[in-house]
Amino acid sequence: MKMQFLSFVKNMSLSLNQIAQQLDSDSTRDRMVALANLRDIPAEDAVPLIKKVLNDQSLQIRSMAVFALGIKQTDESFPILLNILETESDYGIRADAAGALGYLEDIRAFEPLVRLFYEDTDWLVRFSAAVALGNLKDARAKQVLMEALDSEEIVVQQAAIAALGEIKAVDAVNAILRFAQSEDWLIRQRLAEALGNMPSEKSLSALKYLEKDGNPNVAAAARVALERLSTEDI
């Protein structure tokens, strides 16, 4: 059913006026199609339309709209997302806003995302904040990401490992190597991917070990990372 809907949206191209009209439709499906059709609209034209449904009665529509603000970047995008981050009661929408801020790659989001990670009690929001901090590629995120490694939620650990790789925190290699024998293969895959951004002798050794992992996804990620490190001076 989902694939049928996506195919329908892909084959349906709407004009700006048609999109605006559909965003006012009583049909959730119409509004969803309209939002999807904003993908080919320039940001300066798309954002005013996205703003129309930021408080939509449908959480799915609101989620799509918040995500779209991270892709359609204008001067309005950052303050709108920051306001959502600070005032939204729904944890899913807060997580969406954090993710969208990461897409913006606006360094002004660093401190709000750090506060969000420490203060929000929902694991999905903290996961999204960790991922976004990695997207910002700011070395200052190292401390909060190191603490995220000790999270009770595996997905938050996964996000922290990946983000440490994104910020190229080579001095965090020792801290993430403890996950090399994790029972969760996604953690081992994230570890392999992260080590590919952390050129060091320990990274090379760990990747050679992970290259022999029983999970094909982990082994493939390790091989790609080893190829990447082969071009680095270690």
The two tokens of residue 112 are 């709000």
Taking only the tens place, the pLDDT of each residue in 168-217 is 999 999 999 999 999 999 999 999 999 999 999 999 999 999 999 999 99
CB within 8 Å of 197: residues ≥ 6 apart: 165, 166, 168, 228
Query: CA–CA separation, 183 vs 206, rounded Å?
Result: 16
Q: For 194, how many CA atoms within 13 A lie in the half-sphere containing its CB?
A: 35
Per the model's pLDDT, the better-predicted residue between 75 and 3 turns out to be: 75
Crossing angle, helix 91-104 and helix 123-136, to 10 degrees? Answer: 0
- Contacts of residue 179, defined as CB under 8 A and 6 or more positions apart, other chains included, come to 157, 161, 187, 188, 191
- Whether the per-residue pLDDT at 12 is higher than 90: the answer is no
Q: What is the dihedral of CA 50, 55, 56, 60, to 10 degrees?
A: 80
Residue 5 has pLDDT above 80, yes or no: no
Taking the C-alpha atoms of residue 31 and residue 28, their distance in angstroms, rounded to an integer, is 5
- In degrees and rounded to multiples of 5, residue 58 shows phi and psi of -90, 125
Residue scoring higher pLDDT (103 or 7): 103
Instruction: Give the predicted TM-score (pTM) of the model.
Output: 0.88
Q: Is the pLDDT of residue 10 over 50?
A: no
> Are 165 and 154 in contact, with CB atoms under 8 Å apart?
no
Q: Are the beta carbons of 75 and 106 closer than 8 angstroms?
A: no
* DSSP single-letter state for residue 227: H
Mean local confidence (pLDDT), 141-169: 97
One-letter amino acid identity for 130?
A
Residue pair 175/182 in contact by the 8 Å Cβ criterion = no
